Every structure is written in C-alpha cells, then in structure tokens.
Amino acid sequence: MDALNRTTLRNITAFSAAALAGMALVVGCGEDEAEFDRGAVIEGMGTGVIMPTVDALYAASQALDTAAQAFCDAPDATTLEAARDAWLAVKAPLKRSESFSFGPARVPRVQMSMNVDKWPGRGENIEAALDTEATIDEAYITGLDYRDRVFGYPAAGYLLFGAPEGAADTLAAYTDAEHLPEKRCEYLLAVTDHAAGIVAEYHNRWSPEGDGYLTQFVEAGSSDAFPSEQDAFTSITGTMLFALVQISEMKLGVPLMGNEGAPKPEDVEAPYSNTSVDHALWAFEGVERLYLGTDEAMGLSDYVQFRQAAGNVDQTVRDRIAAARSALEALDEPLAETVVNDADAVQAAIDAVDQLNQVISGEVSTLLGINPTTVEGDND
C-alpha cells in the first residue's frame, strides 16, 4: 500500500466505446420496465446478502473477543488455535462486506478500513507499542496512529499468528517472561474489544432493529437515503467495482509490483496467518453473491437478464466470475512467496478480476443506465 499512499484508485466508472455500443441492448426494454420488480432485486441483495454478512461479522467479532480472553486466561495450544479460528471467522464476513462499502461504511466512526481493518498489521510497530509501562486498554489503543497499522483485526492477526524476534513461536510469546506476555495479552484484549465495539456500532447502523439503514436500502424509491431505485443500483454497483479494484490493485497488485515494479511481499494482506489468498477470495465472494443472488434471494443478475433482451451480457458476467474465481483459487499460499516465485499466476488473477470489472463497469452499467460513483481506496 505504501507505494500508493498518495494515489487515488483509478476511476472505476470509465466507459469504453464498446460498452457505449451496448446501449443498443436497452432498446425495447423501457416499455416493459414496470413489469419487472426492481425492488425485489434490491430487497434480495439487502436481506439475502448484505444483512446476513453484517450479522455474521457482528457475531464473529463477539466470539473472537471471548476466544481471546479464554486464550489469555489459559494460554496453550488449544486456546490459541480456537482464537485463531475465531479471528478467521471474523475476517471472512469483513472482507465480503467490502462489496457494499456505502452508507454506514462511509461514516468515519465506524469506517471498517480505518478503525478495524488497516492492513497489513506491522509487527515491529505493535511490538514497540506494547513495550510500555502504561496500561494497555481501549484508550491507549485509540491514542495510537491507525496508519502505523497497530490496532484492529490486522494487529490481532499478528498477535495470534506472529511472534517477536527471539520467540520460538506465537505461544512462547505468551508464556515466556522475556516477551512481555502480560502486556501482550493486554494489547490483544484491547484490540479485540475495541474492534468488537466498532463492529457492534456498524451492525446497529445497518440493523432494522437499530438505526435501520437496511430499511432505507430495501425501500429505495421512497426512502431518504435512496430517493430512487436507480440510486440503490448505482451505490451497490459502485461498491462492487470498488471491491474488485481492491482485489486487483491492492491485495494482489501491490505485493506483485509495489516495489517500483518489483515484488513487495511484505504488503500482502495477511502475512502472519498466510491467508492472503483467502482474504482475496472472501472479498471476491461479496461481489459474487450480490451479482448471482442466493437460493432464496434475487441478485443483480436477475435485473441484467431482464434488461438485456436478446443479449448475452449476463452470461458474459457469469463466465468472467467463474474465470476470476478459478484464477484466484489457483494461487498458492503463502502469497508472499507466490508473488516472487509465480508472478505469472498472480498477474493472471489480476487480469481475470479486471476483466470482470470491465464488463460490470461497461456493459452492465450501460445496460442498467447507471453511472457508478468513483470510490477512493481506504487502505491507501
């Protein structure tokens, strides 16, 4: 990321000449638009994909807080493994939520990337921060500079999978006095508790039982946040594209060539757990689910199929989704080694994700008559 610190992500809404030519596919659909329930698609994405993801993130964040406490109460191989599993269970829905990073996700107080997901965690900075006489609690954590990548779930990833210099392994760092085990646990618990609190507020902002942003979304066309259904489609398409850019440019592109065109393996997303490919796949799944829908809920694909008349835009998207997933799944862990030893495979995954981006920002957006808003990267 450092190589792109002052670089705004490219405009994800540029239309190619070929995409503009796709306007021909729209002809003839206008008269029948009223026959298609666009609200059902919006509701399907909201209640079938977005809210279940937010619910899963909330539940997992609470479970990690509990697992971290259990580990610190009795640090052994079993409790460490349980805490690690709980951390991974948080990261999956957190990454999937990148595909709908509008609304609550743009509120500074609960912005995920700034408050709980500034990655990658920097072990050397975390070690310096925990070597203190001060009590390490939420106040201490929030007094640190988030740009140093010293709190949130990436920091918890280092504390649960990494180890300081001289420690035999992660567990030894919590059992050997020379590695400040008490301060290390203070830090871990402060990090997970702070993050769980932010996630709880984020969940409340989405929840119909809380601030009710989900209701604003699914009632697009008659809500303050979305005066028209088209506004909802514009927001969701824009953030789907944002998630794809994050995958290709940040999760893969920077580690592959962020060092002036050479690999920068230290900037993979999850260097200590060796799950950076999984992180990319989870983020991809967010886009995939919003487009394809679920067994119970409609997705953007349903609207594209209606609008395309005799075209094949939907099948093109589906083919590119399959190709991108295949290319991502072909990447070996640890990604930090793959960007050095198999650059072609990483580039192939980048290209496949970009090709999916192109068809959504081009043919799909043109077909639906929307111009997704440009989104700047949060992890820059």
Q: State whether 257 and 140 are in the same domain.
A: no
Instruction: Give domain status of residue 79, yes or no.
Output: yes
Q: Does the residue 221 lie in any domain?
A: no
Together in a domain, 253 and 338: yes
The alpha-carbon radius of gyration of the chain (Å, integer) is 22
Same domain, 150 and 268: no
Taking 50 as the threshold, does the pLDDT of residue 331 lie above it?
yes
Do 188 and 296 reside in the same domain of the chain?
no
Q: What is the pLDDT of residues 141-153, one digit of tens each?
A: 999 998 899 999 9
CA gap 328, 280 in Å, rounded: 8
pLDDT, tens digit (0-9, with 9 covering 90-100), for 231-241: 999 999 999 99
Q: Per-residue pLDDT for 26 more than 50?
A: no
Number of continuous H segments (helices) and E segments (strands) in the chain: 19, 0
**Nearest one of 189, 163, 190 to 174, comparing CA atoms:** 163
In a domain, 377, yes or no: no
Say if residue 29 is exposed, middle or buried (CB neighbours under 10 Å; 0-12, 13-18, 19+).
middle
In a domain, 213, yes or no: no
Tokens of 257: 């060539």
159 phi, psi to nearest 5 deg:
-65, -25
pLDDT (average), residues 288-309:
95
Confidence tier at 10 by pLDDT (50, 70, 90): very low
The verdict on 145 and 10 lying in the same domain is no
CATH number (domain holding residue 132): 1.20.1420.20
Query: 5: pLDDT confidence band, cut at 50, 70 and 90?
Result: very low
91 is in which domain, residue-wise? Answer: 48-206
Instruction: Output the pLDDT for position 18.
Output: 36
Packing angle between helix 38-45 and helix 300-307, nearest 10 degrees? 160
Whether the per-residue pLDDT at 120 is higher than 90: the answer is yes
Distance CA 303, CA 292 (A): 10
Asked if 59 and 39 sit in the same domain, the reply is: no
Q: Mean pLDDT, to the nearest integer, of 180-208?
A: 98
- pLDDT bucket at 34, cuts 50 / 70 / 90: low
* 136 in Cβ contact with 183 (< 8 Å): yes
245 and 300 within one domain: yes
CA pair distance 367, 22, nearest whole angstrom: 7
- pLDDT of the residue at 233: 97
- Which residue, 206, 238, 267, sits at the end of a domain? 206
Same domain, 264 and 350: yes
Alpha-carbon distance of 376 to 380, in angstroms, equals 9
pLDDT at 286 over 90: yes
Same domain, 142 and 187: yes
Phi, psi of 298 (to 5 degrees): -75, 155
Where is the domain boundary, 150, 177, 206? 206
pLDDT at 229 over 80: yes
Q: What is the mean pLDDT of residues 21-47?
A: 69
pLDDT digits (tens, 9 = 90+) for 102-118: 999 999 989 998 899 99
Q: Is the pLDDT of residue 224 over 90?
A: yes
CB-based contacts of 32: which residues, under 8 Å, 6+ apart? none
Domain match, 236 and 318 both: yes
Model confidence, pTM: 0.91
Same domain, yes or no, for 334 and 354?
Answer: yes
Please tell me the predicted confidence (pLDDT) of residue 15.
34
Out of 78-92, 121-135, 194-208, 364-378, least confident range: 364-378
Average pLDDT over residues 200-205: 98
- Per the structure, the count of domains in the chain is 2
Q: Is residue 211 part of a domain?
A: no
What six digits make up the tokens of 251?
């999760």
pLDDT of residue 147: 87
Rounded distance, CA 104 to CA 99, Å? 13
Q: 249 and 338 share a domain?
A: yes
Residue 220 lies in a domain: no
